Amino acid sequence: MSDTDKAGAPRTDPIQSGTFTRPINAEIRRAAATGIYDIRGGGAKRKVPHFDDLLFLGASMSRYPLEGYREKCDTDVTLGTRYAKNPIRLDIPVTIAGMSFGALSGPAKEALGRGATLAGTSTTTGDGGMTPEELGHSDKLVYQYLPSRYGMNPRDLRRADAIEIVVGQGAKPGGGGMLLGQKISDRVAGMRNLPAGIDQRSACRHPDWTGPDDLEIKILELREITGWQVPIYVKIGGARPYFDTTLAVKAGADVVVLDGMQGGTAASQDVFIEHVGQPTLACIHGAVQALRDLGMHREVQLIVSGGIRTGADVAKAMALGADAVAIGTAALIALGDNDPKWEADYQALGTTAGAYDDWHEGRDPAGITTQDPALMARLDPVEGGRRLNNYLRVLTLEAQTIARACGKSHLHNLEPEDLCALTIEAAAMARVPLSGTDWIPGQTL
Amino acid sequence: MQVIDLATMPLRDMNATLQAQGAETNQRAWEIANPRGAHAIAVGLDAPIAVRVAGSTGYYCAGMNQQAEITVTGSAGPGVAENMMSGKVVIEGDASQYAGATGHGGLLVIRGNAASRCGISMKGIDIVVEGNVGHMSAFMAQSGRLVVCGDAGDALGDSLYEARLYVRGSVRSLGADCIEKEMRAEHLAELEELLSAAGSDAVAGDFRRYGSARQLYHFNIDNAY
């Protein structure tokens, strides 16, 4: 198009709306054509304040570092020390978050178990129950207790190393889930006591309790069934972290799992994922403060999840007060999710590597979020486990590198004082000073 | 008869004692005295023993039961026999909310009434209620049978999957996707069997059958409102 009109006068540049952007307009057209909202997997894709907005200060005249390769910097963590006779001891403070069989393939669950075991950490079941693949390859397995109770049985409950009562999920606090019929194979259906091929709803709240007073009794029941042997975690979505953590502790949790809005889901409405819940960074301080106010920080352990990608993220979460972190999406990427080597297949699905999120459709080129035998065969669980172990080791090494630079002989010794924030928003959320200042928004200088 | 007095024995010891009974135990008859509404009584049992709870219980009595036959002589609090796998649980009085929730198997008999959400998300359990059931009973019920000898409250069988519901009295309203269905000979036969197993003298021919219309089995925007 010419820069001038027919009369030779300069044209006004076409200006795309900042409100009605191309993606928004495309979504309006899609909604108008189909009459159905967009469902997808993953967590919030919008850019929100995150760990990237924090920096470590490192050593200085007043802080001396530890030698980067030689001096001891421990990474172990023990979870469930409050009531359980058998707390879980992990070599590294990075665990694998709950992901369901049904959403994921059997080989993917096996690979997660293999990788976690090689790295000395735990993995977690998900909606749909416990599979032989993960039980057989997970040295430490956390059994999720979900509203749907798909596959729930006392035998598996007693075989688990910990129980995680799922109250909420960062991707959709207050929401349930839907495993669409195309992923409901005979095996998945059998584990869930439902016919094959039909959509399966996972309820948004538990069928036999409501509220923290009931939860306290539910925890009592689970402890009585399991002989008070194993830790009981309570997983909350990033909604009201101070109050939710307080109530979880009051109900008797050994461990609180806090999942921010970047945490993934197998399938939810895009509008839910992007518009409900808070960023992980904004949630940690509230949860830690709740534990401190109760005198329970480090007594009840805090696991943070939602957008953990690097050892720096691990270290920052721990410096803000977490005892450990959990990874889900990153673990799947380590296995091969969204790998550019499948770009042709992604293109055929109308997307591209890195953006593929239609996990609910069961056509995952990487063979991870599918029940299609041919696609599942693309993932070698042994190789996947090796890759996940490598990745977990890198996360740990990176976190150790940072901790040593801060003079810390254990990752748990990292503290908010080691951090500053690059933005006012991050400073306000994480409650650490804005870089170059002593200012924490909301606090009097 | 082995007697455990909850006035003197802690809950933990009581459950541990019952849970320690194996298939070969010769101590097959137990009584729990003075339950006094305690929660989580006789949970996680897995042996062919009979347990009589002499009184009323709090939440989750007989939770996740396997094999055992548990009788509560009084009334039961919320979530009685939740996630039961097998065995039999009998409540001589009334049952509170969520009776038999998510149960996978076994038989739950309630001689009195059951409150709301009886049989919610049931996954194979059979439930016979000699009295009435409250609203939202059999919500998202997946499989198994719910028999109501009295009346059913609002929204019976909402979002039902494959569970079969039998009601002798009135149904205040049916939930989404729940419809009345033809009572055929095989249904009369299974209902007679259930009533007999529950010790009820109700007549199968007096009941109506309800089940899923199966219109919600695949997500459709027209069903979203």
B8-56 pLDDT, tens digit each: 999 999 999 999 999 899 999 999 999 999 999 999 999 999 999 999 9
The amino acid sitting at A248 is A
Which residues in A lie closer than 8 A to residue B78 (C-beta atoms)? 208-209, 214
**Chain A touched by B58 (CB under 8 Å):** yes
Q: Which residue of A has its CA nearest to B139?
A: A207
Across B60-89, average pLDDT: 98
Q: Is the pLDDT confidence value at A149 over 60? A: yes
Please give the angle made by the CA atoms of A405, A390 and A78, to the nearest 5 degrees.
Answer: 65
pLDDT at B38: 98
Which residues in A lie closer than 8 A to residue B104 (C-beta atoms)? 153, 193
pLDDT at B224: 57
Model confidence at B223, in pLDDT bands (50, 70, 90)? low
CA atoms within 13 A on the CB side of A302: 31
Contact B150, B166 (CB under 8 A): no
Residue A315 located in a structural domain: yes
CB–CB contact A208 B161 (8 Å): no
Residue A32 located in a structural domain: no
Helix B11-19 vs helix A211-225: crossing angle, to nearest 10: 40
Residue A445 located in a structural domain: no
Q: Is the pLDDT confidence value at B225 over 60? A: no
Per-chain mean pLDDT for chain B: 96
Per-chain mean pLDDT for chain A: 95
Q: Is B93 exposed, middle or buried (0-12, 13-18, 19+ CB in 10 A)?
A: middle
**Chain A touched by B162 (CB under 8 Å):** yes
Residue A9 located in a structural domain: no
CB–CB contact B143 A217 (8 Å): no
Across A391-399, average pLDDT: 98
Model confidence at A444, in pLDDT bands (50, 70, 90)? low
pLDDT at A16: 93
pLDDT at A128: 86
Please name the helix (run of DSSP H) or strand (run of DSSP E) that holds residue A163, with its range, or none. Answer: strand A162-166
Model confidence at A20, in pLDDT bands (50, 70, 90)? very high
Q: Is the pLDDT confidence value at A147 over 60? A: yes
Q: Which residue of A has its CA nearest to B96?
A: A208
**Chain B touched by A153 (CB under 8 Å):** yes
pLDDT at A183: 76
Length of chain B: 225
Model confidence at B107, in pLDDT bands (50, 70, 90)? very high
Which of B64, B117, B124 lies at the smallest CB-CB distance from A154? B64
Q: Which pTM value belongs to this model?
A: 0.95
CB–CB contact B104 A193 (8 Å): yes
More confident of the two residues B145 and A39: B145
Model confidence at A180, in pLDDT bands (50, 70, 90)? confident
**Chain B touched by A68 (CB under 8 Å):** no
Q: Is the pLDDT confidence value at A102 over 90? A: no
The interface pTM score, or ipTM, of the predicted complex is 0.96
Q: Is the pLDDT confidence value at A67 over 80? A: yes
Across A396-422, average pLDDT: 97
Lowest average pLDDT, out of A195-199, A339-343, A430-434, B178-182, goes to A195-199
Q: For the segment A274-327, what is each residue's pLDDT rounded down to a tens digit? A: 999 999 999 999 999 999 999 999 999 999 999 999 999 999 999 999 999 999
Model confidence at A244, in pLDDT bands (50, 70, 90)? very high
Across B202-206, average pLDDT: 98
Q: How close, in Å, is residue B201 to chain A by CA atoms?
A: 30
- Classify domain B2-216 at the CATH superfamily level: Glutamate synthase, alpha subunit, C-terminal domain (2.160.20.60)
pLDDT at A74: 98
Q: Is the pLDDT confidence value at A177 over 80? A: no
Contact A138, A116 (CB under 8 A): yes
Which residues in B lie closer than 8 A to residue A154 (C-beta atoms)? 44, 46, 64, 66, 83, 85
Which of A149, A154, A224 lies at the smallest CB-CB distance from B121? A149
Helices (H), chain B: 11-19, 185-198
Q: Is the pLDDT confidence value at A4 over 90? A: no
Model confidence at A1, in pLDDT bands (50, 70, 90)? low
Segments forming the whole domain that contains residue A228 = 40-430
Alpha carbon distances (Å) from A420 to A416, A417, A431: 8, 8, 9
Q: How many domains does chain A have?
A: 1
pLDDT at B180: 98
Q: How close, in Å, is residue B38 to chain A by CA atoms?
A: 10
**Chain B touched by A33 (CB under 8 Å):** no
Residue A435 located in a structural domain: no
Most A CBs within 10 A among B14, B66, B218, B223, hence the mutation to make, goes to B218
The Cα–Cα gap between A75 and A68 comes to 14
Residue A199 located in a structural domain: yes
Q: Is the pLDDT confidence value at A205 over 70? A: yes
Which of A194, A220, A228 lies at the smallest CB-CB distance from B161? A194
CATH of the domain at A158: 3.20.20.70
Q: Is B123 exposed, middle or buried (0-12, 13-18, 19+ CB in 10 A)?
A: buried
How many residue pairs from chains A and B have C-beta atoms closer than 8 A? 105
Q: How close, in Å, is residue B157 to chain A by CA atoms?
A: 14
CB–CB contact A193 B159 (8 Å): no
pLDDT at A202: 83
Most B CBs within 10 A among A38, A192, A221, A230, hence the mutation to make, goes to A221
Q: For the segment A351-383, what is each residue's pLDDT rounded down to a tens digit? A: 999 999 999 889 999 999 999 999 999 999 999
Residue A13 located in a structural domain: no
Contact A37, A271 (CB under 8 A): yes
DSSP conformation class of A410? B
CB–CB contact B58 A217 (8 Å): yes
